[in-house]
Structure 1
Amino acid sequence: MPRIPDAVAVASLDTHRLIVAVPNEGPAEITCNLPRPVAASVLRQLADGLDSPAGRCDTALATGRPCPVHDVPASLSEGMLAAGQQAAEGFARGIAQAQRPAGLDALLDHVAAAMTPDDDEHRAAEEPPALTADDVRDALAFNADDRDQVLATLRDVLLDTTATRTPEQALAAARVLLEAHARQVAALVEAHYRATRTRWGLSRSTRGLLTGYEGARKIVTAYADGLADEQALAEGAANEQVEP
Protein backbone atom coordinates (compact mmCIF):
# COMPACT_ATOMS: atom_id res chain seq x y z
CA MET A 1 0.00 0.00 0.00
CA PRO A 2 1.56 3.35 -0.94
CA ARG A 3 2.41 5.76 1.86
CA ILE A 4 -0.16 8.49 2.42
CA PRO A 5 1.48 11.85 3.20
CA ASP A 6 0.55 13.65 6.42
CA ALA A 7 -0.08 16.89 4.55
CA VAL A 8 -0.21 18.12 0.99
CA ALA A 9 1.01 21.62 0.21
CA VAL A 10 -0.56 23.40 -2.74
CA ALA A 11 1.48 26.14 -4.37
CA SER A 12 0.78 28.27 -7.41
CA LEU A 13 2.21 31.35 -9.09
CA ASP A 14 -0.46 33.37 -7.29
CA THR A 15 1.49 32.85 -4.05
CA HIS A 16 5.00 31.90 -5.21
CA ARG A 17 7.48 33.32 -7.71
CA LEU A 18 9.45 30.12 -8.32
CA ILE A 19 8.30 26.51 -7.83
CA VAL A 20 10.71 23.59 -8.33
CA ALA A 21 9.27 20.07 -7.98
CA VAL A 22 11.71 17.12 -7.89
CA PRO A 23 9.77 13.81 -8.12
CA ASN A 24 11.21 10.45 -7.09
CA GLU A 25 11.21 9.50 -10.76
CA GLY A 26 11.37 11.61 -13.87
CA PRO A 27 12.74 15.10 -14.58
CA ALA A 28 12.30 18.12 -12.34
CA GLU A 29 9.42 20.46 -13.09
CA ILE A 30 9.82 24.24 -12.88
CA THR A 31 7.10 26.87 -12.77
CA CYS A 32 8.30 30.46 -12.66
CA ASN A 33 7.16 34.03 -13.22
CA LEU A 34 10.58 35.55 -12.58
CA PRO A 35 12.93 36.67 -15.35
CA ARG A 36 15.12 33.78 -16.37
CA PRO A 37 18.41 35.32 -15.11
CA VAL A 38 16.82 36.05 -11.73
CA ALA A 39 15.48 32.51 -11.43
CA ALA A 40 18.88 31.11 -12.35
CA SER A 41 20.50 33.28 -9.68
CA VAL A 42 18.02 32.04 -7.06
CA LEU A 43 18.73 28.42 -7.92
CA ARG A 44 22.47 28.99 -7.72
CA GLN A 45 22.01 30.63 -4.31
CA LEU A 46 20.14 27.52 -3.17
CA ALA A 47 22.98 25.32 -4.36
CA ASP A 48 25.55 27.54 -2.62
CA GLY A 49 23.48 27.47 0.57
CA LEU A 50 23.48 23.68 0.60
CA ASP A 51 27.27 23.68 0.29
CA SER A 52 27.75 26.23 3.12
CA PRO A 53 28.16 25.23 6.78
CA ALA A 54 25.25 27.44 7.86
CA GLY A 55 22.63 25.42 9.68
CA ARG A 56 24.60 22.16 9.41
CA CYS A 57 27.24 22.53 12.12
CA ASP A 58 27.12 20.44 15.33
CA THR A 59 25.33 23.18 17.28
CA ALA A 60 22.61 23.63 14.66
CA LEU A 61 22.10 19.87 14.31
CA ALA A 62 21.89 19.39 18.06
CA THR A 63 19.51 22.25 18.82
CA GLY A 64 17.53 22.45 15.59
CA ARG A 65 18.11 26.22 15.64
CA PRO A 66 20.47 28.52 13.73
CA CYS A 67 24.00 28.46 15.05
CA PRO A 68 25.01 31.79 16.70
CA VAL A 69 28.45 31.49 15.07
CA HIS A 70 27.85 30.10 11.60
CA ASP A 71 24.37 31.52 11.04
CA VAL A 72 24.81 35.01 12.47
CA PRO A 73 23.52 37.65 10.01
CA ALA A 74 26.33 39.41 8.19
CA SER A 75 24.50 42.73 7.96
CA LEU A 76 21.58 44.68 9.38
CA SER A 77 19.41 43.79 6.38
CA GLU A 78 20.11 40.10 6.88
CA GLY A 79 19.29 40.54 10.57
CA MET A 80 15.90 41.94 9.66
CA LEU A 81 15.29 39.02 7.34
CA ALA A 82 16.29 36.61 10.11
CA ALA A 83 13.32 37.82 12.16
CA GLY A 84 11.08 35.65 9.99
CA GLN A 85 13.22 32.55 10.38
CA GLN A 86 11.03 31.00 13.06
CA ALA A 87 8.42 30.29 10.40
CA ALA A 88 11.01 28.21 8.54
CA GLU A 89 12.44 26.29 11.52
CA GLY A 90 10.41 23.18 10.78
CA PHE A 91 11.70 23.09 7.24
CA ALA A 92 15.27 23.70 8.41
CA ARG A 93 15.08 20.83 10.89
CA GLY A 94 13.78 18.51 8.21
CA ILE A 95 16.61 19.46 5.88
CA ALA A 96 19.20 18.99 8.66
CA GLN A 97 17.91 15.56 9.67
CA ALA A 98 17.21 14.18 6.21
CA GLN A 99 19.88 12.60 4.09
CA ARG A 100 20.90 14.91 1.29
CA PRO A 101 19.82 13.48 -2.11
CA ALA A 102 22.65 12.35 -4.31
CA GLY A 103 23.37 14.62 -7.23
CA LEU A 104 21.27 17.53 -5.93
CA ASP A 105 23.99 20.07 -6.68
CA ALA A 106 24.28 18.75 -10.20
CA LEU A 107 20.51 18.95 -10.62
CA LEU A 108 20.38 22.57 -9.43
CA ASP A 109 23.34 23.55 -11.60
CA HIS A 110 21.72 21.86 -14.60
CA VAL A 111 18.39 23.61 -14.03
CA ALA A 112 20.06 27.00 -13.47
CA ALA A 113 22.17 26.60 -16.61
CA ALA A 114 19.12 25.62 -18.64
CA MET A 115 17.26 28.76 -17.49
CA THR A 116 20.16 31.14 -18.21
CA PRO A 117 19.89 32.87 -21.61
CA ASP A 118 22.99 32.30 -23.65
CA ASP A 119 22.10 33.88 -26.97
CA ASP A 120 20.42 36.94 -28.42
CA GLU A 121 17.26 35.00 -29.25
CA HIS A 122 16.61 34.25 -25.59
CA ARG A 123 17.33 37.83 -24.61
CA ALA A 124 14.86 39.10 -27.22
CA ALA A 125 12.21 36.70 -25.92
CA GLU A 126 12.63 38.12 -22.42
CA GLU A 127 12.04 41.72 -23.50
CA PRO A 128 8.66 42.94 -22.22
CA PRO A 129 5.98 43.56 -24.85
CA ALA A 130 5.28 47.08 -26.04
CA LEU A 131 2.06 48.91 -25.22
CA THR A 132 -0.04 49.18 -28.35
CA ALA A 133 -3.27 50.94 -29.21
CA ASP A 134 -4.97 47.54 -29.50
CA ASP A 135 -3.90 46.76 -25.92
CA VAL A 136 -5.67 49.92 -24.76
CA ARG A 137 -8.77 49.04 -26.78
CA ASP A 138 -8.78 45.55 -25.25
CA ALA A 139 -8.51 47.11 -21.80
CA LEU A 140 -11.48 49.38 -22.57
CA ALA A 141 -13.51 46.36 -23.64
CA PHE A 142 -12.49 44.50 -20.49
CA ASN A 143 -13.64 47.42 -18.32
CA ALA A 144 -16.88 47.93 -20.24
CA ASP A 145 -18.97 46.98 -17.20
CA ASP A 146 -17.06 49.26 -14.83
CA ARG A 147 -18.78 52.30 -13.39
CA ASP A 148 -16.32 54.53 -15.27
CA GLN A 149 -14.85 52.54 -18.15
CA VAL A 150 -12.27 55.12 -19.23
CA LEU A 151 -11.09 55.87 -15.70
CA ALA A 152 -10.61 52.17 -14.93
CA THR A 153 -8.67 51.68 -18.17
CA LEU A 154 -6.45 54.68 -17.50
CA ARG A 155 -5.70 53.20 -14.08
CA ASP A 156 -4.74 49.86 -15.65
CA VAL A 157 -2.51 51.48 -18.27
CA LEU A 158 -0.68 53.60 -15.69
CA LEU A 159 -0.19 50.62 -13.38
CA ASP A 160 1.18 48.40 -16.15
CA THR A 161 4.91 48.95 -15.70
CA THR A 162 5.85 45.74 -17.54
CA ALA A 163 5.02 47.04 -21.02
CA THR A 164 7.52 49.32 -22.68
CA ARG A 165 6.27 52.41 -24.47
CA THR A 166 7.85 54.80 -26.91
CA PRO A 167 6.59 58.38 -27.28
CA GLU A 168 4.60 57.29 -30.33
CA GLN A 169 3.02 54.38 -28.46
CA ALA A 170 2.19 56.61 -25.50
CA LEU A 171 0.59 59.13 -27.87
CA ALA A 172 -1.48 56.36 -29.46
CA ALA A 173 -2.68 55.21 -26.03
CA ALA A 174 -3.59 58.81 -25.17
CA ARG A 175 -5.58 59.21 -28.38
CA VAL A 176 -7.56 56.01 -27.76
CA LEU A 177 -8.32 56.94 -24.14
CA LEU A 178 -9.23 60.56 -24.89
CA GLU A 179 -11.45 59.49 -27.78
CA ALA A 180 -13.30 57.10 -25.49
CA HIS A 181 -13.58 59.79 -22.82
CA ALA A 182 -14.90 62.33 -25.32
CA ARG A 183 -17.57 59.91 -26.52
CA GLN A 184 -18.43 59.24 -22.90
CA VAL A 185 -18.91 62.99 -22.30
CA ALA A 186 -20.98 63.31 -25.49
CA ALA A 187 -23.23 60.50 -24.27
CA LEU A 188 -23.71 62.29 -20.93
CA VAL A 189 -24.64 65.53 -22.71
CA GLU A 190 -27.07 63.63 -24.93
CA ALA A 191 -28.67 61.98 -21.88
CA HIS A 192 -29.04 65.35 -20.17
CA TYR A 193 -30.56 66.80 -23.33
CA ARG A 194 -33.15 64.02 -23.52
CA ALA A 195 -33.96 64.24 -19.81
CA THR A 196 -34.48 68.02 -20.01
CA ARG A 197 -36.64 67.78 -23.12
CA THR A 198 -38.70 64.95 -21.62
CA ARG A 199 -39.31 66.88 -18.42
CA TRP A 200 -39.91 70.38 -19.76
CA GLY A 201 -40.67 69.79 -23.43
CA LEU A 202 -39.65 71.98 -26.33
CA SER A 203 -40.82 75.52 -25.76
CA ARG A 204 -39.64 79.08 -26.22
CA SER A 205 -37.97 79.04 -22.80
CA THR A 206 -36.20 75.68 -23.26
CA ARG A 207 -35.25 75.97 -26.92
CA GLY A 208 -32.04 77.90 -26.25
CA LEU A 209 -30.94 75.49 -23.48
CA LEU A 210 -31.60 72.42 -25.61
CA THR A 211 -29.83 73.99 -28.57
CA GLY A 212 -26.80 74.57 -26.35
CA TYR A 213 -26.80 70.95 -25.24
CA GLU A 214 -26.99 69.76 -28.83
CA GLY A 215 -24.18 72.10 -29.89
CA ALA A 216 -21.94 70.90 -27.04
CA ARG A 217 -22.57 67.27 -27.97
CA LYS A 218 -21.61 67.91 -31.59
CA ILE A 219 -18.41 69.69 -30.58
CA VAL A 220 -17.30 66.89 -28.27
CA THR A 221 -18.24 64.24 -30.85
CA ALA A 222 -16.22 66.07 -33.52
CA TYR A 223 -13.24 66.13 -31.18
CA ALA A 224 -13.55 62.36 -30.65
CA ASP A 225 -13.86 61.78 -34.41
CA GLY A 226 -10.71 63.84 -34.98
CA LEU A 227 -8.73 61.75 -32.50
CA ALA A 228 -9.98 58.56 -34.16
CA ASP A 229 -8.94 59.85 -37.61
CA GLU A 230 -5.47 60.84 -36.34
CA GLN A 231 -4.94 57.42 -34.80
CA ALA A 232 -6.12 55.64 -37.94
CA LEU A 233 -3.65 57.65 -40.02
CA ALA A 234 -0.82 56.91 -37.58
CA GLU A 235 -1.57 53.17 -37.62
CA GLY A 236 -1.80 53.16 -41.39
CA ALA A 237 1.59 54.87 -41.71
CA ALA A 238 3.13 52.39 -39.24
CA ASN A 239 1.72 49.45 -41.21
CA GLU A 240 3.16 50.80 -44.46
CA GLN A 241 6.62 50.99 -42.87
CA VAL A 242 6.39 47.39 -41.71
CA GLU A 243 5.21 45.95 -45.02
CA PRO A 244 8.03 45.10 -47.48
Structure 2
Amino acid sequence: MLKKIDKSALYLAENITALRCPLCHNGFRLEKYALICANRHTYNLNKKGVVNFLTIKPDTTHYTRAMFEPRRKLIQSGMYAPVLAEIKTMLTTGNLLDVGSGEGSFLDLLDVCGNKFGFDIALDGVNMATELTDLQAFFSLSDLTNLPFADSSMATVLNIFTPSNYREFDRVLTDNGQVIKVIPDTYYLQELRTAFGLPNDYDNGDVVRKFAEKFPDFTQKEIRYAFALPENLRTAFLSMSPLEWQISAETKAKIAEKPPKTATVHVRILQGKKS
Protein backbone atom coordinates (compact mmCIF):
# COMPACT_ATOMS: atom_id res chain seq x y z
CA MET A 1 0.00 0.00 0.00
CA LEU A 2 1.26 3.46 -0.90
CA LYS A 3 2.22 5.87 1.81
CA LYS A 4 -0.16 8.82 2.12
CA ILE A 5 2.43 11.26 0.83
CA ASP A 6 3.05 9.12 -2.26
CA LYS A 7 -0.67 8.66 -2.87
CA SER A 8 -1.15 12.43 -2.73
CA ALA A 9 1.87 13.11 -4.96
CA LEU A 10 0.49 10.79 -7.64
CA TYR A 11 -2.90 12.47 -7.45
CA LEU A 12 -1.31 15.90 -7.77
CA ALA A 13 0.81 14.79 -10.71
CA GLU A 14 -2.40 13.91 -12.57
CA ASN A 15 -4.17 17.12 -11.54
CA ILE A 16 -1.41 19.72 -11.37
CA THR A 17 -3.21 22.10 -13.75
CA ALA A 18 -6.11 22.39 -11.29
CA LEU A 19 -3.86 24.25 -8.82
CA ARG A 20 -2.27 27.69 -8.77
CA CYS A 21 0.05 29.51 -6.40
CA PRO A 22 -1.94 31.58 -3.88
CA LEU A 23 0.86 34.17 -3.73
CA CYS A 24 1.53 34.95 -7.40
CA HIS A 25 -1.24 32.98 -9.13
CA ASN A 26 1.12 31.10 -11.41
CA GLY A 27 0.75 27.40 -12.06
CA PHE A 28 2.78 24.76 -10.23
CA ARG A 29 5.13 22.01 -11.18
CA LEU A 30 5.59 19.02 -8.89
CA GLU A 31 9.10 18.10 -7.80
CA LYS A 32 9.03 14.95 -5.66
CA TYR A 33 6.95 16.13 -2.67
CA ALA A 34 6.89 19.86 -3.39
CA LEU A 35 4.69 22.19 -5.41
CA ILE A 36 6.86 24.92 -6.94
CA CYS A 37 5.59 27.83 -9.02
CA ALA A 38 7.44 29.92 -11.62
CA ASN A 39 8.46 32.38 -8.90
CA ARG A 40 9.85 29.56 -6.74
CA HIS A 41 7.12 29.79 -4.11
CA THR A 42 7.23 26.31 -2.64
CA TYR A 43 4.61 24.27 -0.79
CA ASN A 44 5.57 20.88 0.58
CA LEU A 45 3.39 17.85 1.12
CA ASN A 46 3.50 16.67 4.71
CA LYS A 47 3.71 12.98 5.56
CA LYS A 48 -0.08 12.72 5.38
CA GLY A 49 -0.09 14.13 1.86
CA VAL A 50 -1.59 17.48 2.88
CA VAL A 51 -0.34 20.86 1.65
CA ASN A 52 -0.59 23.94 3.86
CA PHE A 53 -1.38 26.98 1.70
CA LEU A 54 -2.37 29.17 4.66
CA THR A 55 -0.55 32.37 5.56
CA ILE A 56 -2.00 32.15 9.09
CA LYS A 57 -1.93 29.37 11.64
CA PRO A 58 -4.49 26.61 11.00
CA ASP A 59 -7.29 26.08 13.50
CA THR A 60 -6.16 23.61 16.16
CA THR A 61 -8.45 24.84 18.93
CA HIS A 62 -12.09 24.85 17.85
CA TYR A 63 -12.65 22.29 15.11
CA THR A 64 -10.69 19.37 16.50
CA ARG A 65 -10.65 15.59 16.35
CA ALA A 66 -12.85 15.55 19.47
CA MET A 67 -15.68 17.00 17.36
CA PHE A 68 -14.79 15.49 13.99
CA GLU A 69 -14.73 11.88 15.25
CA PRO A 70 -18.35 11.78 16.47
CA ARG A 71 -19.42 13.74 13.38
CA ARG A 72 -17.74 11.15 11.14
CA LYS A 73 -19.48 8.30 12.96
CA LEU A 74 -22.88 9.92 12.49
CA ILE A 75 -22.32 10.82 8.84
CA GLN A 76 -21.15 7.29 8.09
CA SER A 77 -24.13 5.84 9.97
CA GLY A 78 -26.43 7.42 7.39
CA MET A 79 -27.60 10.53 9.21
CA TYR A 80 -27.22 12.65 6.08
CA ALA A 81 -27.95 9.97 3.47
CA PRO A 82 -31.11 11.65 2.06
CA VAL A 83 -29.23 14.96 1.75
CA LEU A 84 -26.31 13.33 -0.04
CA ALA A 85 -28.70 11.40 -2.30
CA GLU A 86 -30.21 14.71 -3.44
CA ILE A 87 -26.79 16.26 -3.99
CA LYS A 88 -25.79 13.28 -6.14
CA THR A 89 -28.62 14.04 -8.55
CA MET A 90 -27.18 17.54 -9.03
CA LEU A 91 -23.55 16.62 -9.69
CA THR A 92 -22.19 16.98 -13.21
CA THR A 93 -19.10 15.68 -14.96
CA GLY A 94 -15.94 17.47 -13.88
CA ASN A 95 -13.91 18.32 -10.81
CA LEU A 96 -15.62 18.66 -7.42
CA LEU A 97 -14.36 21.08 -4.76
CA ASP A 98 -15.63 20.59 -1.20
CA VAL A 99 -15.37 23.89 0.67
CA GLY A 100 -14.71 23.42 4.38
CA SER A 101 -14.43 19.69 3.88
CA GLY A 102 -13.90 18.87 7.56
CA GLU A 103 -12.90 15.25 8.10
CA GLY A 104 -13.81 14.30 4.54
CA SER A 105 -16.80 11.98 4.96
CA PHE A 106 -19.19 13.98 2.77
CA LEU A 107 -16.68 13.99 -0.07
CA ASP A 108 -16.00 10.30 0.49
CA LEU A 109 -19.68 9.40 0.13
CA LEU A 110 -20.25 11.36 -3.07
CA ASP A 111 -19.49 9.78 -6.43
CA VAL A 112 -18.51 12.12 -9.22
CA CYS A 113 -17.27 11.67 -12.78
CA GLY A 114 -14.20 13.78 -12.16
CA ASN A 115 -11.58 14.45 -9.51
CA LYS A 116 -12.13 15.50 -5.91
CA PHE A 117 -10.54 18.31 -3.92
CA GLY A 118 -11.22 19.39 -0.35
CA PHE A 119 -9.87 22.06 1.94
CA ASP A 120 -10.38 23.42 5.41
CA ILE A 121 -8.63 25.61 7.96
CA ALA A 122 -8.93 22.86 10.59
CA LEU A 123 -5.72 20.85 10.86
CA ASP A 124 -7.38 17.84 12.48
CA GLY A 125 -10.03 17.82 9.79
CA VAL A 126 -7.72 17.57 6.78
CA ASN A 127 -5.47 15.09 8.59
CA MET A 128 -8.46 12.87 9.35
CA ALA A 129 -9.62 13.09 5.74
CA THR A 130 -6.40 11.40 4.63
CA GLU A 131 -7.31 8.45 6.86
CA LEU A 132 -10.20 7.53 4.55
CA THR A 133 -8.23 4.93 2.65
CA ASP A 134 -10.70 4.42 -0.20
CA LEU A 135 -11.10 8.14 -0.89
CA GLN A 136 -9.23 9.42 -3.93
CA ALA A 137 -8.88 13.18 -3.36
CA PHE A 138 -6.42 15.95 -2.58
CA PHE A 139 -6.79 17.84 0.70
CA SER A 140 -5.17 21.09 1.75
CA LEU A 141 -5.22 23.77 4.39
CA SER A 142 -6.43 26.76 2.41
CA ASP A 143 -7.90 30.23 2.68
CA LEU A 144 -11.47 30.67 1.45
CA THR A 145 -10.63 34.18 0.24
CA ASN A 146 -7.62 33.08 -1.83
CA LEU A 147 -8.10 29.55 -3.11
CA PRO A 148 -5.08 27.63 -4.47
CA PHE A 149 -7.12 26.37 -7.41
CA ALA A 150 -6.80 27.48 -11.02
CA ASP A 151 -9.33 29.55 -12.93
CA SER A 152 -12.13 27.46 -14.47
CA SER A 153 -10.85 24.27 -12.85
CA MET A 154 -13.97 23.10 -10.99
CA ALA A 155 -17.32 21.92 -12.34
CA THR A 156 -18.97 21.98 -8.90
CA VAL A 157 -18.24 23.87 -5.71
CA LEU A 158 -19.88 22.12 -2.76
CA ASN A 159 -20.64 24.22 0.29
CA ILE A 160 -22.13 22.15 3.15
CA PHE A 161 -22.72 24.14 6.37
CA THR A 162 -19.73 26.37 5.63
CA PRO A 163 -19.10 30.02 4.66
CA SER A 164 -18.97 31.13 1.03
CA ASN A 165 -16.82 33.43 -1.06
CA TYR A 166 -18.67 33.91 -4.33
CA ARG A 167 -15.88 35.90 -5.93
CA GLU A 168 -13.50 32.97 -5.57
CA PHE A 169 -16.19 30.42 -6.42
CA ASP A 170 -16.89 32.28 -9.66
CA ARG A 171 -13.20 32.33 -10.53
CA VAL A 172 -12.57 28.60 -10.07
CA LEU A 173 -15.79 27.44 -11.73
CA THR A 174 -15.92 26.37 -15.35
CA ASP A 175 -18.20 28.36 -17.65
CA ASN A 176 -21.08 25.96 -17.01
CA GLY A 177 -20.11 25.28 -13.40
CA GLN A 178 -22.34 25.33 -10.33
CA VAL A 179 -22.42 25.98 -6.62
CA ILE A 180 -24.36 23.58 -4.41
CA LYS A 181 -24.87 25.11 -0.97
CA VAL A 182 -26.47 23.29 1.97
CA ILE A 183 -27.73 25.43 4.83
CA PRO A 184 -29.49 24.55 8.10
CA ASP A 185 -33.21 25.29 8.19
CA THR A 186 -35.48 26.10 11.12
CA TYR A 187 -35.60 22.72 12.87
CA TYR A 188 -32.09 21.50 12.18
CA LEU A 189 -30.79 19.49 15.18
CA GLN A 190 -33.68 20.77 17.30
CA GLU A 191 -33.22 17.87 19.75
CA LEU A 192 -29.68 18.99 20.44
CA ARG A 193 -30.74 22.59 20.91
CA THR A 194 -33.53 21.56 23.26
CA ALA A 195 -31.19 19.35 25.29
CA PHE A 196 -28.67 22.19 25.59
CA GLY A 197 -31.34 24.74 26.49
CA LEU A 198 -30.70 26.76 23.32
CA PRO A 199 -33.39 28.44 21.19
CA ASN A 200 -34.51 26.90 17.91
CA ASP A 201 -33.94 30.12 16.04
CA TYR A 202 -32.30 29.28 12.73
CA ASP A 203 -33.05 31.97 10.17
CA ASN A 204 -30.86 31.83 7.12
CA GLY A 205 -32.85 34.34 5.10
CA ASP A 206 -29.82 36.58 4.62
CA VAL A 207 -27.78 33.64 3.32
CA VAL A 208 -30.46 32.76 0.78
CA ARG A 209 -30.80 36.38 -0.33
CA LYS A 210 -27.06 36.65 -0.88
CA PHE A 211 -27.10 33.43 -2.89
CA ALA A 212 -30.01 34.75 -4.96
CA GLU A 213 -28.07 37.93 -5.73
CA LYS A 214 -25.27 35.85 -7.18
CA PHE A 215 -27.52 33.27 -8.85
CA PRO A 216 -30.87 34.91 -9.74
CA ASP A 217 -32.14 31.71 -11.38
CA PHE A 218 -31.15 29.44 -8.50
CA THR A 219 -33.26 26.50 -7.37
CA GLN A 220 -33.75 25.25 -3.85
CA LYS A 221 -35.08 22.15 -2.17
CA GLU A 222 -36.12 21.71 1.43
CA ILE A 223 -35.36 18.38 3.10
CA ARG A 224 -36.68 17.47 6.53
CA TYR A 225 -36.70 14.13 8.31
CA ALA A 226 -36.10 12.53 11.71
CA PHE A 227 -33.06 10.28 11.94
CA ALA A 228 -33.19 7.52 14.56
CA LEU A 229 -29.90 7.74 16.38
CA PRO A 230 -28.24 4.35 16.91
CA GLU A 231 -28.03 3.70 20.63
CA ASN A 232 -24.24 3.53 20.55
CA LEU A 233 -24.04 6.95 18.87
CA ARG A 234 -26.43 8.94 21.03
CA THR A 235 -23.69 10.42 23.19
CA ALA A 236 -21.64 11.09 20.04
CA PHE A 237 -24.56 13.22 18.85
CA LEU A 238 -23.89 15.57 21.77
CA SER A 239 -20.35 16.26 20.53
CA MET A 240 -20.80 16.57 16.76
CA SER A 241 -21.68 20.26 16.59
CA PRO A 242 -20.21 23.61 17.67
CA LEU A 243 -23.43 23.98 19.68
CA GLU A 244 -21.71 22.07 22.47
CA TRP A 245 -19.26 24.93 22.91
CA GLN A 246 -22.07 26.91 24.54
CA ILE A 247 -22.58 24.53 27.47
CA SER A 248 -20.43 23.34 30.35
CA ALA A 249 -18.87 19.91 30.60
CA GLU A 250 -21.02 19.25 33.68
CA THR A 251 -24.22 20.04 31.81
CA LYS A 252 -23.18 17.88 28.90
CA ALA A 253 -22.36 14.97 31.21
CA LYS A 254 -25.80 15.20 32.78
CA ILE A 255 -27.51 15.24 29.37
CA ALA A 256 -25.43 12.21 28.35
CA GLU A 257 -27.21 10.18 31.01
CA LYS A 258 -30.36 10.42 28.89
CA PRO A 259 -29.37 11.67 25.44
CA PRO A 260 -31.77 12.33 22.55
CA LYS A 261 -32.91 9.30 20.56
CA THR A 262 -33.62 11.11 17.30
CA ALA A 263 -32.06 13.94 15.32
CA THR A 264 -34.01 16.25 13.04
CA VAL A 265 -32.21 16.99 9.80
CA HIS A 266 -33.84 20.05 8.25
CA VAL A 267 -31.85 21.73 5.50
CA ARG A 268 -32.19 23.67 2.29
CA ILE A 269 -30.12 22.77 -0.72
CA LEU A 270 -29.43 25.74 -2.98
CA GLN A 271 -28.19 25.17 -6.53
CA GLY A 272 -26.86 28.05 -8.59
CA LYS A 273 -25.33 27.76 -12.03
CA LYS A 274 -22.68 30.11 -13.37
CA SER A 275 -23.97 32.36 -16.12
Question: If the length of structure 1 is used for normalisation, what is the TM-score?
Answer: 0.19
Larger helix proportion, structure 1 or 2?
Answer: 1
Question: Could you tell me the TM-score, scaled by structure 2's length?
Answer: 0.17
Indicate the structure (1 or 2) with the bigger Cα radius of gyration: 1
Structure number with the higher strand fraction is 2
Q: Which has the higher contact order (CA 8 A, sep 6+)?
A: 2
